[in-house]
Chain A
């Protein structure tokens, strides 16, 4: 099932695991510690922005809700963060009743602190490291793809992003015998190429066909379809229904910029909202179900320096925790077959600027001599 790290290089983490999508509710109670860990039961859907409804908790009646609404208190957050004495005066409600309701709401919706050591133990037991099929790329990624994280591969057209994704799918489904979900938004997934890669790794035809069956391909050409597909994957995982889902370990998305770039730019801000929604889905999927999420992205040229950088802007740059830039050749029909290099642009564990050489041969993504890391 992949390797586990023996020791976390940064020591025990100092921060609690954040459940992405839950807003933090800061409560100035002296006996509570300042770090929060949201309710870990995913079925409760810890969303504190819930509209106040009758029956949400005992003591919250319909007339109370109407009075609160008249004072502009509509959601749980509004209620909990307002000054109850003022509210009691303005709405002519009993202060004790309001305090009781607040206590129940906090118990239902707020976060609980957790110990750093417990968190570290949990992380050690739930994280796995998946090999990518290329040892130089593994070296770049500090032993492989970490589950629970989003990794990004960016590159110019023809630089090998789809090939690396196929290589990862082949290695996870064949080597680790885990299921892989491949979300294809460019039409670049070619099953015969995947089959070629599997044939290069193992001789037995049965194993090759089994490995092919473990890779599930979903074609999504629109951002809403992609959101729906991710939601389905989450549903399957949370219910753990059927053998089609299986022990899923990797979700590969090729590419995320193809569905997002028609929406970004210009004066509309809707694109950013959808992009962040997608980012939230990806991170939740990665963290909650311990899968490795790999996305591919385009590159643009930096207007000041002329260097290549990943597309989709600054907001997206905070989403993946590891970013690899694949660089190919400039004008391929003029030079010979120059080797492809992979450069680390962002990583929580390795020094950035590290470069290795990849060689996408006819069988699989093979490696050549790795280049020493440049400071």
Chain B
């Protein structure tokens, strides 16, 4: 069966010319050849050659898949996907209640969005995750690196250093409790310097820089294949001011969302975005909703909303494909590590600090 010319990834001007000249299927294009094609539609021979190259690639790709060859790696049965998911790790947040409602932690290959009013703790959680992704596998982490794209300038290195120190201390206590060789070996490479050196920091000042950075990210990730977390702190900020054309904003955001999901899927990393809140006026009341509009709500696979209830911070899981909607309270602490009771499970499972007494620096 032949591919329609309209479904091939050619430039719109070229496609319009081909359709006007009467070409319907890819086979006809290939039969005409570059000279005939350039004469028929009035383009240069180089352009005709390029176009035919694209067409040949598409058809070759189709033929390979039809023959059952190793085509795209994105096609599998649900059973294989289930096995993949069960073997995949999570990035823990060191707050066991939050990990519980997320189903184990921040999932890899998905986009998680954290929305909240200012000061509620979004950047803190992002920094915590950038440190937690680097926890070695024997302690229950994914042993990856992190990319931190900052648009608001809210990344504080000394705070990140505090969180990293606390995390290292935590792992040291586990190693002391269990006394196993691989724990001690992993601890040699897991130090403050190594943690900070594996957080790749990018600063983007406006939306064009952000878009460019995201489009260049796949190349960066293929060089640094250990990256398992991409954080964009403040995706709303560059898009919320100085934008006159709202439909352009929607298009750009949707394109950005697709880019991010491709990155998350191809490189098996988690993408975490933070979003601001805005007011929506209802019939008789106004509510706080996540910013960037209704269509942006579809970009994230998992949506967490942080809000206040008097003086207590609450986290609600608003949207998730596999977990139920629930709310939990949380706190942000600045604690020095002095005494941690031994309430962890074995090293195979994720490190699960107990809710009541064990509080880590950062989230609890």
CA gap between A194 and B85 in the complex, in Å: 12
In-complex Cβ contact of B24 among A47, A191, A212 (8 A): A47
In-complex Cβ contact of A45 among B2, B6, B22, B72 (8 A): B2
User: In the complex where A192-B86, A259-B258, A298-B295 touch, is A158 in contact with B76 (Cβ < 8 A)?
Assistant: no
A362 near B254 with CB under 8 A, answer: no
Give A88 Cβ to nearest chain B Cβ, in Å: 22
CA gap between A205 and B107 in the complex, in Å: 26
Give A366 Cβ to nearest chain B Cβ, in Å: 14
B255 near A227 with CB under 8 A, answer: no
Give B248 Cβ to nearest chain A Cβ, in Å: 6
- Interface positions, chain A 212-239, Cβ under 8 Å from B, are 212-222, 224-225, 227-229, 231-232, 234-236, 238-239
CA gap between A219 and B75 in the complex, in Å: 6
B301 near A273 with CB under 8 A, answer: no
Give A38 Cβ to nearest chain B Cβ, in Å: 14
B78 near A231 with CB under 8 A, answer: no
A232 near B65 with CB under 8 A, answer: yes
Q: Does A311 contact B (CB under 8 A)?
A: yes
B66 near A232 with CB under 8 A, answer: yes
CA gap between A186 and B250 in the complex, in Å: 16
B82 near A212 with CB under 8 A, answer: yes
A362 near B324 with CB under 8 A, answer: yes
What secondary structure prevails in chain B residues at the interface with A?
mixed
User: In the complex where A192-B85, A330-B282, A333-B316 touch, is A222 in contact with B307 (Cβ < 8 A)?
Assistant: no
A217 near B251 with CB under 8 A, answer: no
A219 near B295 with CB under 8 A, answer: no
A74 near B21 with CB under 8 A, answer: yes
User: In the complex where A224-B7, A273-B15 touch, is A187 in contact with B261 (Cβ < 8 A)?
Assistant: yes
Instruction: Kindly report which residue of chain A lies nearest to residue B283, judged by CB atoms.
Output: A306
Give A109 Cβ to nearest chain B Cβ, in Å: 12
A190 near B321 with CB under 8 A, answer: yes
Of A3-11, A114-122, A263-271, which binds chain B? A263-271
Q: Does B341 contact A (CB under 8 A)?
A: no
A333 near B254 with CB under 8 A, answer: no
Instruction: Kindly report which residue of chain B lies nearest to residue A236, judged by CB atoms.
Output: B66
- Interface positions, chain B 56-93, Cβ under 8 Å from A, are 58, 61-62, 65-66, 68, 72, 74-79, 81-82, 84-86
CA gap between A227 and B62 in the complex, in Å: 11
Give B326 Cβ to nearest chain A Cβ, in Å: 10
A186 near B261 with CB under 8 A, answer: yes
A262 near B282 with CB under 8 A, answer: no
Count of A-B residue pairs with CB < 8 Å: 195
A187 near B76 with CB under 8 A, answer: no
* Chain A neighbourhood of B81, CB < 8 A: 189, 191, 217
* Chain A neighbourhood of B1, CB < 8 A: 42, 45, 231, 234-235, 238
Q: Does A261 contact B (CB under 8 A)?
A: yes
In-complex Cβ contact of A51 among B21, B74, B297, B324 (8 A): B21
In-complex Cβ contact of B25 among A47, A238, A262 (8 A): A47
In-complex Cβ contact of A255 among B3, B298, B318 (8 A): B298
A277 near B12 with CB under 8 A, answer: no
CA gap between A49 and B282 in the complex, in Å: 52
A262 near B255 with CB under 8 A, answer: yes
Q: Does A138 contact B (CB under 8 A)?
A: no
Residues of B within 8 A of A (CB): 1-4, 6-9, 12, 15, 21-25, 28, 58, 61-62, 65-66, 68, 72, 74-79, 81-82, 84-86, 109-111, 245, 247-248, 250-252, 254-255, 257-258, 261-262, 264-265, 282, 287-289, 294-295, 297-298, 300-301, 303, 305, 307, 314, 316, 318-319, 321-322, 324-325, 327
| Between-chain CB contacts (< 8 Å), 6 pairs | A51-B21, A214-B77, A229-B75, A232-B65, A281-B7, A331-B289
Residues of A within 8 A of B (CB): 21, 42, 45, 47, 49-51, 74-75, 156-158, 162-163, 169, 182, 185-196, 209, 212-222, 224-225, 227-229, 231-232, 234-236, 238-239, 241-242, 255, 257-259, 261-266, 268-270, 273-274, 277, 280-281, 298-301, 311, 330-334, 337, 362
